[in-house]
Amino acid sequence: MILSRNSKKDVREIHFSDFMAAEARAPAGAEDRGYSRAHAFPFWERTHGNPRAARYVDALIRRVPEGKLVTVFRLREELARRSGVDIACSVCTGIFLRIAAEAAEEERRAGKKVVTPYWRVRSSDGRLQPRFPGGPGAQRRMLSGEGHKAQRSAGKKPPQVANFEASLVRF
């Protein structure tokens, strides 16, 4: 559930622990205070306890064509739009994204040629995802094969894709 007012600044997001409940409800009197009730990731409730829930995120990543990129925030926006809510939970999206990436690597090791292109998913500032299989090095190799260049970063931050904004996909 997301409780939101008309302004984006007043959007409240449901916490991951609330997703574990069988049914999330708006607090008593929420409608009286100008909030509307909506569910974030309503498919979570439909698939609660079902390991296939990550397939919603996986299917969206598969729509990103070669040479294009998508940010985690854009994935969340599209999932929310399809679910009819303001914004999707960042924790759930991250968990499902990691599951999709790990499953794709398992399929690759098993010899499957076409897998979910998880390496095309960037952070909001264009950085590589350090927790994806193979780490930033593997993602850099995959992206360079698609024409992208990763810039070295200072410190411990992962590398950033150069000019990634020009390559972002629109759903």
Half-sphere exposure at residue 159, Cβ-oriented, CA atoms within 13 angstroms: 18
Per-residue pLDDT tens digits for 11-64: 444 433 333 332 334 444 444 444 444 434 444 444 444 455 578 889 999 999
Average pLDDT over residues 135-161: 91
- Residue-wise pLDDT tens digits, 115-134: 999 999 999 999 999 999 99
What is the number of other CB atoms lying within 10 angstroms of the CB of residue 142? 17
C-alpha 56/C-alpha 54 separation (Å) is 5
Higher pLDDT, 105 or 37: 105
pTM beyond cutoff 0.85: no
Domains of the chain (ranges, CATH numbers): 2-162 (1.10.10.10)
Name, in order, each residue with C-beta under 8 angstroms of 17's C-beta and a sequence gap of 6 or more: none
